[in-house]
Amino acid sequence: MYPPIEPYDHGMLDVGDGNLVYWEVCGNPEGKPALVVHGGPGSGCSVGVRKTFDPERYRIVLFDQRNCGRSRPHASDPATDLSANTTHHLIADMEVLREHLGIGKWLLYGGSWGSTLILAYAQAHPERVSEIVIPAVTTTRRFEIDWLYRGVGRFFPEEWERFRQGVPEADRDGDTFALLAAYSRLLADPDPAVRAKAARDWVTWEDTVISLETNGKPNAYSDRPDEAVTAMTRICSHYFSNGAWLEEGVLLREAGRLAGIPGVLIHGRLDLGGPVDTAWHLAQAWPDARLVVVDDSGHTGSETMRKEIFAALDAFASR
């Protein structure tokens, strides 16, 4: 990775609805603009991702999506209203940030939930996107959500049953989205003990899904501060119980709108929670995308995946 760097500019951007979104810019002020779109949803942007880009050639923009990370109000507070936090709000926030920074076009980088948001933004504003690099492709179809929070239970039946038992008995026997909606209610409960238990039950399941990834980071979800875990799980359950407010399959169906935008899709063969077929179908529908399948990687990456990410970003740096 490139050496650690600090932002040369940062701020809190008023995006409306009472929300302030944290942003920062690192690297070369005259470099190629690139936006980091973090996952979760609700994970916040890690400062470590700054080191993914060549600081001499990139103008690196990072931001924390609504109600997480350094943005305010924070979702860890049950009084924070999430009704104005949807995929479409986040797309609008990205446009406000681009205009605020005076950027005409930018490269988009991010994986997992970040890839869904990247695809949704790029299909809404293709003229604003120069290139796209996605490690860990998702499109957040209801099919994908159902697989992650129920289907993977075929491999971990005992652990999934504990996840199911985490909600009140009356909410356990509906479909996946009813289960996630029950978690969403628990994570907004005024009792901090109720919120804490629901958050830990949620991330315990997330950690289970990645537990077979020998080259990745163990306990990647639970190994975070309590406030960050509560915010992430609350925002995740809010989004996923609502299908991310996207028409089913729309990001694959409308992938032709990305024609002319070069893209690199990098996906781990061993990604149990997000099987590689989604990345494959996207590469078939997006004429300018190249798919790289990394055989030794799951959802949390590997050294091989990191090398592929650096290669893609370095190749686009001088484009």
pLDDT value at residue 231? 97
Answer for the pair 97, 121: CB distance below 8 angstroms, yes or no: no
pLDDT at 219: 87
0.95 cut: is pTM over it? Answer: yes
54, 71, 299, 302: which is the annotated catalytic residue?
299
Q: What is the pLDDT of residue 137?
A: 98
Average pLDDT over residues 60-89: 98
Catalytic entry in 43, 76, 112, 115: 112
* pLDDT over threshold 90, residue 222: no
Arithmetic mean of pLDDT, 45-54? 95
- Identity of residue 125: H
User: Which of 148-151's residues contact partners 24+ apart within 8 Å by CB, and which partners?
Assistant: 148/209, 148/273, 148/274, 149/176, 149/179, 149/180, 149/205, 149/240, 150/176, 150/179
Over its C-alpha atoms, the chain yields an Rg (Å, rounded) of 19
What would you measure as the largest C-alpha separation in the chain, in angstroms? 57
Tell me, yes or no, if 112 is annotated catalytic. yes
Q: Which two tokens stand for residue 41?
A: 């949803």
**pLDDT value of position 253:** 98
Predicted local confidence at residue 218, as pLDDT? 83
E strand residue ranges, the chain: 9-16, 19-27, 32-36, 58-63, 106-109, 129-135, 263-268, 289-294
64, 93, 201, 271: the active-site residue? 271
- Quickly state the pLDDT bin for 248 (edges 50, 70, 90): very high
Q: Write down the pLDDT at residue 291.
A: 98
Q: Length of the chain in residues, anyone?
A: 319
pLDDT confidence bin for 1, thresholds 50/70/90: confident
Cα 72 from Cα 21, distance rounded (Å) = 7
Using one digit for the tens of pLDDT, what is the confidence trace for 101-154?
Answer: 999 999 999 999 999 999 999 999 999 999 999 999 999 999 999 999 999 999
Q: CB burial class (10 A; 0-12, 13-18, 19+) of residue 190?
A: exposed
How much is the pLDDT for 250?
Answer: 98
Q: Is 17 one of the annotated active-site residues of the chain?
A: no
Predicted local distance difference test score (pLDDT) of residue 104: 98
Label residue 301 exposed, middle or buried (CB < 10 Å: 0-12, 13-18, 19+): buried
Identify which of 202, 193, 128, 190 has the alpha carbon closest to the alpha carbon of residue 165.
202
pLDDT at 216 over 90: no
- Mean pLDDT for 54-60 is 98
